[in-house]
Amino acid sequence: MRGTRARGGERMRIEDYAMIGDTQSAALIGMDGSVDWLCLPRFDSPSCFARLLGDEHNGFWRLAAAGHDRAARRAYVEDTLVLATDWETSTGTARVVDFMPPRSGNPDLVRIVEGLSGTVEMTTEIRIRFDYGRIVPWVRRIGGHLHAIGGPDSVWVHSPICLRGGDYRHEATFTVAAGERVPFVFTWHPSHRPQPEVIDPLDELGLTVAVWREWISRCGYRGPWRDAVVRSLITLKALTYSPTGGIVAAPTTSLPERLGGVRNWDYRYCWLRDAAMALDALLRCGYLEEADAWRVWLLRAIAGRPEDHQIMYGVAGERRLPETTLDWLPGYEGSRPVRIGNGAAGQFQLDVYGQVVNALYRARKQGMAPDDYTWSLLLKGAVFLEHNWDRPDEGLWEVRGPRRHFVHSKVMAWLAFDRLTRAAELGRTGPFDRWAALRDHIHAEVCDKGYDPVRNTFTQSYGSRELDAALLQIPIVGFLPPDDPRVIGTVEAIERELMTDGFVLRYPLAEDNPVDGLPGGEGAFLACSFWLAEARAMIGRNNDAVELFQHLIALTNDVGLLAEEYDPTTDRQLGNFPQAFSHIHLIRTALALSGEIRGAGMAEATSR
C-alpha cells in the first residue's frame, strides 16, 4: 500500500479508501476503518457521512482496534464487493467485514466484527450528519437501538453493543474473542415511514457474497490481467443504478483534480459518453443483460426532441442538475468549492452522438436484440446531427472557455454517420447514401483543417497548435488505419508534448489557459494513458504498450481501485473515486493487449 500512514486523525489519501455498495448507492471506507462518505438512498442523494469533504463534525463511522490508526491489511472477499479489514494487536487479530446487502427495501450498511485469534479490544464512534454534514439529527434510544431523525431522513443502528451518547456522537469499546461475531446494522429510511424490519446480518452476508460470485462467474475474460479486469467489472457493476440501468461516473463529488484547486466536480450522474463506453466494455466481457438495461435507460433519458438531448442525466433520467456549492464544507484537503449538481449538463458536446451510436451498433453486432424504437430515436438524432455537426462545441473535456471546433468532436461526428451507414448490414433502412456522403465530407474536412502537415500530427482544434490526448481515439475508432503516417505522427507527437513522468496529460495546461477557462493545473487523466497503451499496440509497438499498461495497473490501490487522475509528483491518486472512466479503459486495454479484441474500428478503417 502506497501513501503515508494515518496518525492521530491524519487525512486519508484518496487511494486509502475502498468502496462497498448495493448498486443503488455506495460507501467509502478508509484504511482507518472509518466510513467517511455515504449518500442515501441514491448515489446522488445528500450524504449522511461527509468527513471525506470536511472533518469529523460532518459525519463518519469508525470501527477499529483500540489504539490503532491503520489496519494491517484489507481485501475484498474473493470476487465480491464485500470488504474484509484485518486488525492485528499484541493480544490477537480481529476482522471487520463491511458490505451493503442487495436491496429489497430500505438500504442497509452492515459491519461485522469477527475474532480471528486471541482477544482484541475494539472501539467504534459514529456521528450521523444529514444533508452533507449540515444537519445534526435528533438521536434517541428505542428498544436498545439508536434512532436518528432529521427532516426527511431517518436512520436506525442495531447492535448488541450499547453505544453511549454525548457531544453529538455515540461510541463504545468492546472486546471480541476468537470465534465471536459482533454485528452492527445501519439502516436508512424516509422519516415519515414506519420503522423497517431488522435484517439478519449473517444471512445477508452469505446472500451478498453469493450474488457477487454468481455475477462475476459470467465474465468471459481469461487473459493475463484477469484480477484487474474482474475488479474493474465489479466496480462498473457497483456504479450501476440497478432500478434504471444508469451508470454513474463515480460515487463521489468534489474530490479534487489538484489539491487545493477549484477543479472539483460532482460525478454522481450518468454521462452518455461514459455509459456508452461502459456498455461496450460489459458487452465484450459477456454481460448482455447489463448492456440491455443501459439501452432501456438511455431510451427513457433521451426521449423527446433531439435538440433537447443532454450529455448527462440523473440516475433515473433527470435533466435538471443545477450546480451549487456547499459553503459549510471545507473540501478535501482544503480543495474548494464543494459542488453538487453539474453545470456541464447544459453543454453542447458533439462527441456523445458518436459514442452512443457506436455503442448501440456494436451491441447489435454482439448479439443484442434489434429494437425499432431505438432505431427511430437514432434516426431523429441523425437529422439533428446533420444540421449541427459543423458547430463549435465544449468538447470531450467539457471546457468552460469559448467553444471550439475540436478535432475529436468532429471525428466522433464522423463515427456517428459511419456507424449509421453500417446499420444497413443489420437490416435497417435509412438514407445511407446521404449519410455516407456526409461521413466522407467530415473526414476530408478533419484531415484538412485539423491536421498540421509540418509537425505531422492532428491538433486539438481547427487552426490550433495544441495537442489533445483525445486524438489517440483516431485509430481506435477507425477514422484512419493505425499504419497511416498521420496516425503514427500523432501518437509520437503526443508522446513528445503531452507526456510527463510517464503519464499522458489531457492537453497543455497553463495558469491563463484559454482552452478550458479554469485556473491551475491537474493530475494526469488516467484514461489518456490507457489510450496511449492501446494506440501503441495498434501501431505495432506492443512491448511499449504492455510496459505502459503494467505501469498503470500498478497504480491501483491495495483493493484494485483507480481514481480519475494521478499526480506523479506526489505519488497519489486525484479526482473522484473510484472512477468508471479509468476502469472502463483498463478493461478495454487489457482486452486489446490480450488479443481478445481489435480496435473498435480497425476492421472498418480505410485510408483516405
Q: What is the predicted pLDDT for the residue at 383?
A: 95
Secondary structure (3-state) at 64: strand
Sign of CA dihedral 16, 281, 380, 377: negative
The beta strand positions in 310-452, using DSSP E, are: 312-313, 324-325, 339-340, 451-452
Contact by Cβ (8 Å): 349, 396? yes
The percentage of residues in the chain with a pLDDT greater than 90, rounded to a whole number, is 84
At 599 the pLDDT is 43
C-alpha 510/C-alpha 16 separation (Å) is 30
Query: Residue 120 has which C-alpha cell?
Result: 482484541
Least confidently predicted of 51-60, 404-413, 424-433:
424-433
d(CA 592, CA 308): 36
Mean of the pLDDT values across residues 390-399?
92
Q: Can you give the pLDDT at residue 400?
A: 78
Average pLDDT over residues 434-438: 97
**Residues with Cβ within 8 Å of residue 404, at least 6 apart in sequence:** 392, 393, 395, 460, 461, 462, 464, 515
pLDDT in tens, 537-579: 999 999 999 999 999 999 999 999 999 999 999 999 999 999 9
- Where b means 16+ CB within 10 Å and e means fewer, 242-269 reads bebbbbbbbbbbbbbbbbebbbbbbbbb
Contact 477, 470 (CB under 8 A): no
- Could you give the CA distance from residue 329 to residue 321 in angstroms, rounded to a whole number? 20
Q: Which residue has the higher pLDDT, 549 or 279?
A: 549
**Strand ranges inside 299-379, DSSP E:** 312-313, 324-325, 339-340
- Between 8 and 469, where is the model more confident? 469
Return the residue matching grid coordinates 449519410: 435
Residues 183, 211: Cα–Cα separation, whole Å? 21
* Beta bridge pairs of residue 396: none
Concatenating the DSSP letter of every residue in 263-280 gives ---B--SEEHHHHHHHHH
Residue 607 has pLDDT above 60, yes or no: no
For residue 562, which of 576, 550, 551 has the smallest C-alpha distance? Answer: 576
**Residue 206 neighbours by CB under 8 Å, 6+ apart:** none
pLDDT at 5: 32
Q: What is the CA radius of gyration of the chain?
A: 25
Instruction: Render pLDDT for 88-138 as a digit per residue (tens, 0 to 9).
Output: 999 999 999 999 999 989 999 999 999 999 999 999 999 999 999 999 999
Q: What pLDDT is attached to residue 606?
A: 40
Could you tell me which of 302, 311, 293, 317 has the C-alpha nearest to residue 236? 293
Q: How many CB atoms lie within 10 A of CB 210?
A: 12
Cα-Cα-Cα-Cα dihedral sign, residues 532, 534, 535, 540: positive
The pairs formed by 176-180 with CB atoms below 8 angstroms and a separation of 24 or more are 176/94, 176/113, 176/114, 176/115, 176/119, 176/120, 176/122, 177/92, 177/115, 177/118, 177/119, 178/92, 178/115, 178/116, 178/117, 178/118, 178/119, 179/115, 180/114, 180/115
- Structure confidence by residue, pLDDT tens digits, 323-364: 999 999 999 999 999 999 999 999 999 999 999 999 999 888
Across residues 29-46, what is the average pLDDT?
98
- CA-CA-CA-CA torsion sign (88, 94, 95, 96): negative
Burial of 595 (0-12, 13-18, 19+ CB in 10 A): exposed
Question: Is 522 or 409 the better-scoring residue by pLDDT?
Answer: 409
Which of 443, 448, 424, 439 shows the shortest CA–CA distance to 386? 439
pLDDT bucket at 291, cuts 50 / 70 / 90: confident
* pLDDT tens-digit map of 483-542: 999 999 999 999 999 999 999 999 887 554 566 667 667 889 999 999 999 999 999 999
Angle at 270 between CA 268 and CA 275, to 5 degrees: 130
Which H or E run includes 316? none
- What letter does residue 58 receive in the DSSP assignment? G
- Distance of alpha carbon 6 from alpha carbon 24, whole angstroms: 30
**Does residue 204 carry a pLDDT above 50?**
yes
Cell of 475: 485509430
d(CA 562, CA 524): 12
pLDDT of residue 522: 83
Peptide bond into 392 cis (omega under 30): no
Burial track 301-328 (b if 16+ CB lie within 10 A, e otherwise): bbeeebeebbbbbbbebbeebeeeebee
Distance CA 580, CA 221 (A): 18
Which cell numbers in the block locate residue 382? 441523425
Per-residue pLDDT averaged across 356-385, rounded? 91
So what's the pLDDT on residue 132?
Answer: 98
Q: Please tell me the pTM assigned to this model.
A: 0.94
pLDDT at 2 over 50: no
| Helix residue spans in 178-306 (DSSP H) | 201-216, 226-238, 272-284, 288-302
The helix/strand count (H/E) of the chain reads as 14, 28
Residue 12's Cα: distance from chain center in Å? 20
Look at residues 17, 47, 49 and name the one whose alpha carbon lies nearest to residue 36. Answer: 49
Q: How many CB atoms lie within 10 A of CB 230?
A: 19
User: Residue 1: CB partners within 8 Å, gap ≥ 6?
Assistant: 16, 31, 557, 558
